[in-house]
């Protein structure tokens, strides 16, 4: 089969397509013929050596949809040819509250940037009929991470005012979709007017360019009737997270799933005086994934950026590295 391989570190240009043996499903596994895969920032981080536990050579990719190719020993279904989507979270603990001893498809296990991939049967789910292949491939890791941040951890309510810093990334576009799905008011930030315009088309109520408005947190407070947002979902860290804690409303929930800008300077006063709940989260459980799929059966559509052919994988990764995308970058495998 053809697969995107990373044989050495050095950035996106080290990704290339080569022929490798077809993987065979083991006991309790399913082989999936991939039609579409999708990029996540972790794929780029891995090419740069900025991810723990890197093992090379490796086929990257966490997100994928396609059809069942073969069943391993002891697996009774779904039948070969069935359209499916893959849950990229492997080995979530039995405790619903958090993950332990788990991993994500695409490192260290070979991932979805290939014509075939084998995964545990419990990670294979029927493809939502309302989504096409591009859309289906986009929902895996980012959609799951956002679902747990917004619903399971953030306990979103229709009455919430939701602050979404750095809209445009894969996960944050899902956060916006979910927040609008429940009817919450949303405030989004970005340094790109083009991304803010896309966010408006997805339903964002207030858009703020933090580059042209350095005091963006003051605009957030004004846009939330002076009280501040009641739910914040952040992946940026750094000064952005510091500002989010300062501007959050009394009793607000602040959910954190990343720290792309590095460590934040946290003032305890901002947390204890306002009785904030600061909640960490990462990926999601099997229950979260199933619940997320139900949302997309209802007509919800993910935001897509571009679809690249498999042979242009390095260009797709470079686009993500430069932060040019709005929504998910998809890789056409078939």
Q: Do 188 and 72 share a structural domain? A: no
Whether residue 294 lies inside any domain: the answer is no
Whether residue 249 lies inside any domain: the answer is yes
Quote the mean pLDDT of the chain.
Answer: 96
Whether residue 292 lies inside any domain: the answer is no
Whether residue 288 lies inside any domain: the answer is no
How far apart (Å, rounded) are the C-alpha atoms in residues 326 and 142?
13
pLDDT tens digits, 41-57: 999 999 999 999 999 99
Dihedral (CA of 75, 108, 63, 314) sign = negative
Q: Do 151 and 86 share a structural domain? A: no
How far apart (Å, rounded) are the C-alpha atoms in residues 59 and 113?
6
DSSP state of 23: P
Q: What is the pLDDT of residue 102?
A: 86
How far apart (Å, rounded) are the C-alpha atoms in residues 74 and 95?
25
Q: What is the pLDDT of residue 171?
A: 96
Q: Do 275 and 311 share a structural domain? A: no
10 Å CB burial of residue 180 (0-12, 13-18, 19+) is middle
Q: Do 168 and 124 share a structural domain? A: no
Q: What is the pLDDT of residue 99?
A: 74
Residue 249 token pair: 């409303």
Q: Do 9 and 95 share a structural domain? A: yes
Residue 95, pLDDT above cutoff 90 = no
Q: Do 116 and 70 share a structural domain? A: yes
Residue 98, pLDDT above cutoff 80 = no
Alpha-carbon Rg for the chain, nearest whole angstrom, is: 20
Upstream peptide bond of 6 is cis (omega within 30 degrees of 0): no
Considering only CA atoms, which of 308, 311, 300, 310 is closest in space to residue 325?
Answer: 308
Average pLDDT over residues 189-209: 97
Q: Do 130 and 110 share a structural domain? A: yes
Q: What is the pLDDT of residue 100?
A: 73
Considering only CA atoms, which of 216, 268, 272 is closest in space to residue 247?
Answer: 216
The H or E element containing residue 142 is: helix 141-147
How far apart (Å, rounded) are the C-alpha atoms in residues 272 and 110?
44
Q: What is the pLDDT of residue 44?
A: 97
* Number of domains observed in the structure of the chain: 2
Relative to beta strand 58-59, strand 103-104 is unpaired
Residue 228, pLDDT above cutoff 80 = yes
Q: What is the pLDDT of residue 97?
A: 80
pLDDT tens digits, 267-324: 999 999 999 999 999 999 999 999 999 999 988 999 999 999 999 999 999 999 999 8
The helix-helix angle for 238-247 and 216-223 (nearest 10°) equals 30
Residue 211 token pair: 């580059």
Report the half-sphere exposure of 322 (CA within 13 A, side-chain side).
9
How far apart (Å, rounded) are the C-alpha atoms in residues 189 and 208?
5
| Bridge partners of residue 279, in order along the sequence | 255
Average pLDDT over residues 178-190: 98
Average pLDDT over residues 91-110: 86
Of all residues in the chain, what percent carry a pLDDT higher than 90? Answer: 94
DSSP state of 304: E
Whether residue 198 lies inside any domain: the answer is yes
Confidence of residue 192 (pLDDT cuts 50, 70, 90): very high
pTM: 0.96
Whether residue 311 lies inside any domain: the answer is yes
How far apart (Å, rounded) are the C-alpha atoms in residues 96 and 327?
28
Whether residue 285 lies inside any domain: the answer is no
How far apart (Å, rounded) are the C-alpha atoms in residues 280 and 298?
28
Q: Do 102 and 155 share a structural domain? A: no
Helices assigned H by DSSP within the chain: 41-47, 133-138, 141-147, 170-181, 193-201, 216-223, 238-247, 268-272, 286-297, 313-321
Q: Do 38 and 9 share a structural domain? A: yes
Q: What is the pLDDT of residue 221?
A: 96
Whether residue 210 lies inside any domain: the answer is yes
pLDDT tens digits, 103-151: 999 999 999 999 999 999 999 999 999 999 999 999 999 999 999 999 9
Q: What is the pLDDT of residue 93?
A: 80
Q: Do 323 and 252 share a structural domain? A: no
CATH number at residue 274: 3.90.180.10
Contact 104, 88 (CB under 8 A): yes
Structural domain of 264 = 145-280
10 Å CB burial of residue 291 (0-12, 13-18, 19+) is middle
Q: What is the pLDDT of residue 74?
A: 97
Average pLDDT over residues 182-188: 98
Q: Do 57 and 30 share a structural domain? A: yes
Average pLDDT over residues 80-106: 89
Residue 265 token pair: 């300077």
Q: Do 118 and 203 share a structural domain? A: no
């Amino acid at each position: 089969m053809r697969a995107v391989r990373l044989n050495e570190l050095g950035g996106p240009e080290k990704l290339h397509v080569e022929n490798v043996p077809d993987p065979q499903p083991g006991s309790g596994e399913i082989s999936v013929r991939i039609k579409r895969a999708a990029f996540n920032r972790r794929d780029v981080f891995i090419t740069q050596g900025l991810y723990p536990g890197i093992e090379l050579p490796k086929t990257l990719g966490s997100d994928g949809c396609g059809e069942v190719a073969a069943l391993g020993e002891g697996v009774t279904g779904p039948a070969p040819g069935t359209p499916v989507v893959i849950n990229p979270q492997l080995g979530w603990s039995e405790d619903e509250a958090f993950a332990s001893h788990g991993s994500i498809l695409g490192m260290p296990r070979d991932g979805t940037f290939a014509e075939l991939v084998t995964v545990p049967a419990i990670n294979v789910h029927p493809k939502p009929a309302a989504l096409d292949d591009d859309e289906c491939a986009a929902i895996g890791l980012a959609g799951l991470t956002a679902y747990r941040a917004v619903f399971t951890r953030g306990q979103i309510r229709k009455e919430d005012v939701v602050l979404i810093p750095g809209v445009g990334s894969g996960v944050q576009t899902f956060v916006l979709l979910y927040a609008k799905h429940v009817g919450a008011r949303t405030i989004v930030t970005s340094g790109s007017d083009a991304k803010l315009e896309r966010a408006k088309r997805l339903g964002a109520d207030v858009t703020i360019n933090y580059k042209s408005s350095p005091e963006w947190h003051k605009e957030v407070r004004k846009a939330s009737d002076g009280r501040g947002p009641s739910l914040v979902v952040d992946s940026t860290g750094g000064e952005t997270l510091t500002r989010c804690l300062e501007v959050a409303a009394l009793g607000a929930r602040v959910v954190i799933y990343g720290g792309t800008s590095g460590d934040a300077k946290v003032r305890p006063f901002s947390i204890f005086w306002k009785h904030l709940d600061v909640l960490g989260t990462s990926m999601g459980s099997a229950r979260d994934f199933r619940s997320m799929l139900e949302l997309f059966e209802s007509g919800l559509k993910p935001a897509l950026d571009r679809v690249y052919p498999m042979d242009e994988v390095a260009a797709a990764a470079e686009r993500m590295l430069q932060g040019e995308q709005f929504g998910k970058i998809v890789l056409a495998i078939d």
